[in-house]
Structure 1
Amino acid sequence: MATSGSGPSTPQLARIPHFPAAPAPQPVTVPDGPSAGWYSAIPTTQPIAFITIDDGWTKVPEAAALLKAANVPVTLFLEINAIKSDPGYFTALEQAGATIEAHTISHPELKGKSYAFQHNEICGSADQLGKLYGRRPVLFRPPFGDKDATTLKVVHDCGMKAAFFWKETTDKGIVRYQAGHAVKAGDIILMHFRPAFVDDFLAVLQAISQAGLTPARLEDYIA
């Protein structure tokens, strides 16, 4: 079982940028209707960006202390099958500033699947996360970022407000951009729980800092 008691090294801590305080949130209102909202970035001119971390398979012991040291909000889109070996690991991340949201039970391709199939995966994951962590998710990320109209209807019917894609991805300490060479205001950045978690997280922080932005909490920007 993974533990979350180990801390990052002094050189790793030295790589954490200092951020100004995030501005007061200016949330976007999800349009009324039978479907959840869909965003790869939040439309805003505020100098902010959003860190999101998916799945939960690799549970590096430094993560909680690293999040606490960075003192920035992050959103975890957790897959039930990935976290069930050690759900308490993510409680420690919550206590360090993370918010837990839904990412299905078994990480299937949802696009093209029936309403019943998608409902089981989406509602089922939100229900289980609510029982585990005392708060039912209000946001969702589909596996692989793939969705169809049924996905967004199911997300809405399962009581969640919005689903998310991304603008940047991170792996092995490298941030990759869909467009340009810098994080832009409102961008949603994707990480995963992988062996290079520490380097990935530090790379994301540095990219946000170099763009003159501050990490903000995604949940604060969805009304």
Structure 2
Amino acid sequence: MWRSRAVLAAFASLSLTVGGAQAAGAVGAGEVAPAAPAAAAGSRAVGLPPVVSHVPTSEKVVFITIDDGWAHDPGVAQTLVEQRVPASLFLLPGAFSYDAQYFTGLVEQGRSVNVENHTVNHPDLTALDAAGKDAEVCGAGEQLAAAFGREPKLLRPPYGAVNDDVRLAAKACGVKALITWTHDFTTWGETPATPQLNAGDIVLLHFTPTLGADLKRALDAAKAAGLKPAALMPHLKSAGLVK
């Protein structure tokens, strides 16, 4: 199945003009690249899923997203469930597979907690050929659908690395939007400065040993700005970014 999708993607890419919707590559040990332009508005490619780093909205909301899935802190799950925090979890299959119940419990008990695609092996997708992109994106989507009973529709490209070939491969795998971020609240070595959050911002966190503290900083920053965490997909639809 994925081989045929890869061939189609490679063929289509021959006529694709690469647009301006690109996020920078990795910087340092963590995903701290600058966010991609919202909705990839400057791209000349037509019909490809948008790249979204910020959701245009008049509502006082912010979006919590958490990547990878390696650290399974019960306290974090308790916070998400008891405080009814909507969150998008961009999981790696290998990171959730050894304790899938941790995440299935979050989805079942949480308020608007959804599992989304972060590829199989966390590569820079821009460095792969069409077959490699397809194996990473479609392969992860299939594993997540099997584990959680829902096909993910959002993709977080590792390191925020995106070009139109990546968007084309994502579309072939059923992805509706590629989600980067506005602010990274992850502690990479030392606690980063806490930014001022604005309505529609996308907060990036990771399932690391510091997630409990990082999540608290993000929720406190949202509260200080008069914002509430909200489910991402409904607001992407309201903004006309996905159908």
Which bin holds the TM-score, normalised by the shorter protein? 0.7 to 0.9
Q: Is the aligned partner of 1:51 residue 2:64?
A: yes
Q: Matched residues in 2 for 1:91 and 1:63: separation?
A: 14
**Do the aligned partners of 1:55 and 1:79 also contact (CA within 8 Å) in 2?**
yes
Shift of 1:37: 1.0
Residues 149-190 of structure 1: CA distance to partner in whole angstroms, max 9, x if unpaired?
11111111111100011111112494556xxx4001100000
Q: Matched residues in 2 for 1:165 and 1:111: separation?
A: 15
Amino acid at match of 1:220: P
Residues 31-75 of structure 1: CA distance to partner in whole angstroms, max 9, x if unpaired?
994411110000112111100000001111222211112112000
Q: 1:153 matched to which residue of 2?
A: 168
**Do the aligned partners of 1:59 and 1:193 also contact (CA within 8 Å) in 2?**
yes
After TM superposition, the structure 1 stretch with the greater mean CA deviation from structure 2, 200-209 or 33-42, is 33-42
Q: Is the aligned partner of 1:138 residue 2:150?
A: no
- Count matched residues: 192
Amino acid at match of 2:229: P
* Cα-Cα RMSD: 2.0
**Do the aligned partners of 1:48 and 1:213 also contact (CA within 8 Å) in 2?**
yes
User: Gaps (5+ residues) in structure 2?
Assistant: 1-38, 238-243
Q: Matched residues in 2 for 1:137 and 1:197: separation?
A: 23
Q: 1:169 matched to which residue of 2?
A: 184
> Mapping of 1:167-206 within 5 angstroms?
167-172=182-187, 174=191, 176=193, 181-206=195-220
Q: Secondary structure at the match of 2:226?
A: coil
**Do the aligned partners of 1:36 and 1:163 also contact (CA within 8 Å) in 2?**
yes
Q: 1:8 matched to which residue of 2?
A: none
Bigger strand share:
1
Q: Matched residues in 1 for 2:129 and 2:157: separation?
A: 15
Q: Is the aligned partner of 1:117 residue 2:132?
A: yes
Bigger helix share:
2
Q: Aligned match of 2:116 in 86, 96, 101?
A: 101
% identical equivalent positions: 35
Q: Aligned match of 1:89 in 86, 102, 113?
A: 102
User: Gaps (5+ residues) in structure 1?
Assistant: 1-27
